[in-house]
């Protein structure tokens, strides 16, 4: 049995003050939860404040992106060392918004995963197909390519995979539990075929997860958690998601 893992992806939301307000309200709602892993991927500017408030809590601090070099002339980028010194122990890599708006390829994602793992940061790797790809029956082909490219020469320790069908992100259109489980099963089989330790890897579902649909998604054997955007922005809604994921 894999421990459920619920992760918040705040995207480009929350100032430092809003981050502090969220965490102060959220922590008391989940402070007795030890059977679910919980993380919050805050914007870079909020990491320092979040880290101070999350210290010695049961919530992991994550970043939403990383650069694939350790230091140097890369204006505007953030290195793994910077993330670690800001208090992060995890990072989201390859989110579809990064792929779509910032032209991140599987090769770039692979370089980012390599440096993150080398620095001891855990990684949530996001993969998933677009609507056109799903309608053209290319879902598995896309997952194959993304997994092979992103995980090239990388072992699986420290890795979580988030299956996020692009058509479900921020649209209110969730994959059915059967669609989610089918894709997760495919990912699990791919990992089993090509990597060691695949059984232990958590596979999260992401895309319009809410307190209303999480139980149905989590009822599926291959759905080990969720990566949540919109519904993670309010403390009570994110706490509900965490509490729904508890082992029954």
Which residues would be at the binding site for ligand PGA (CB under 6 A)? 9, 164, 169-170, 206-209, 227-231
Looking at beta carbons only, is 46 or 96 nearer to ligand PGA? Answer: 96
Active-site residue identified among 95, 104, 133, 184: 95
Q: Which is nearer to ligand PGA, 161 or 231 (CB)?
A: 231
The smaller minimum CB distance to ligand PGA, of residues 12 and 73, is found at 12
Kindly state the smallest distance separating residue 230's Cβ from ligand PGA, in Å. Answer: 4
Closest contact distance (angstroms) between CB of 41 and ligand PGA is 9
> DSSP letters of 67-134?
-SSSSSS-TT---HHHHHHTT--EEEE--HHHHHHS---HHHHHHHHHHHHHTT-EEEEEE---HHHH
How far is Cα 131 from Cα 123, in angstroms, rounded to an integer? 26
Contacts 24+ apart (CB under 8 A), 105-110: 105/149, 106/145, 106/146, 106/148, 106/149, 106/150, 107/149, 108/68, 109/146, 109/149, 109/150, 110/149, 110/150, 110/151, 110/152, 110/153, 110/154
Q: Is 164 a catalytic residue?
A: yes
Tokens at 97, concatenated? 């918004």
Is the Cβ–Cβ distance between 214 and 180 less than 8 Å? no
240 Cβ contact list (under 8 Å, min separation 6) = 211
Which residue number, 79 or 168, has a Cβ lying nearer to ligand PGA? 168
Question: Minimum distance from CB of 91 to ligand PGA (Å)?
Answer: 14
Beta bridge mates, 60: 39
Closest approach of ligand PGA to the CB of residue 208, in Å: 4
Beta bridge partners of 159: 123
Residue 180 CB, shortest distance to ligand PGA, in Å, is 13
Q: Residue with CB nearest ligand PGA?
A: 229
Give me the least distance between CB of 206 and ligand PGA, in Å please. Answer: 4
Name the one residue in this structure whose structure tokens are 């939301």.
13
Catalytic, 184? Answer no
Catalytic residue among 97, 104, 129, 164: 164
Q: How far apart are CA 90 and CA 125, in angstroms?
A: 11
Q: Which is nearer to ligand PGA, 43 or 206 (CB)?
A: 206
Which one, 66 or 79, has the nearer CB to ligand PGA? 66
Q: Hey, which residues are catalytic here?
A: 95, 164
């Amino acid at each position: 049995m894999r421990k459920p893992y619920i992760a918040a992806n705040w995207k480009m939301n929350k100032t430092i003050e809003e981050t502090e307000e969220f965490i102060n309200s959220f922590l008391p709602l989940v402070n007795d939860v030890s059977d679910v892993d919980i993380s919050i991927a805050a914007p870079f500017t909020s990491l320092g404040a979040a880290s101070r408030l999350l210290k010695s809590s049961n919530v992991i601090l994550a970043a939403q992106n990383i650069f694939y070099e350790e230091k140097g002339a890369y204006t505007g980028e953030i290195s793994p060392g910077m993330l670690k010194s800001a208090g992060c122990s995890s990072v989201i890599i390859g989110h579809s918004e990064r792929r779509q708006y910032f032209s991140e390829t599987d090769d770039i994602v692979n370089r980012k995963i390599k440096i993150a793992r080398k620095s001891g940061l855990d990684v949530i790797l996001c993969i998933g197909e677009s609507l056109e790809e799903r309608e053209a029956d290319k879902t598995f082909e896309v997952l194959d390519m993304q997994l092979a490219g992103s995980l090239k020469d990388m072992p699986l320790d420290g890795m979580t995979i988030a299956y996020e069908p692009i058509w479900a992100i921020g649209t209110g259109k969730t994959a059915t539990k059967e669609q989610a489980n089918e894709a997760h099963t495919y990912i699990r089989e791919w990992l089993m075929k090509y990597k060691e330790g695949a059984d232990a890897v958590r596979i999260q579902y992401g895309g319009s997860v809410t307190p209303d649909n999480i139980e149905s998604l989590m009822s599926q054997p291959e759905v080990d958690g969720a990566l949540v955007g919109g519904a993670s922005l309010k403390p009570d809604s994110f706490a509900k998601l965490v509490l729904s994921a508890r082992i029954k």
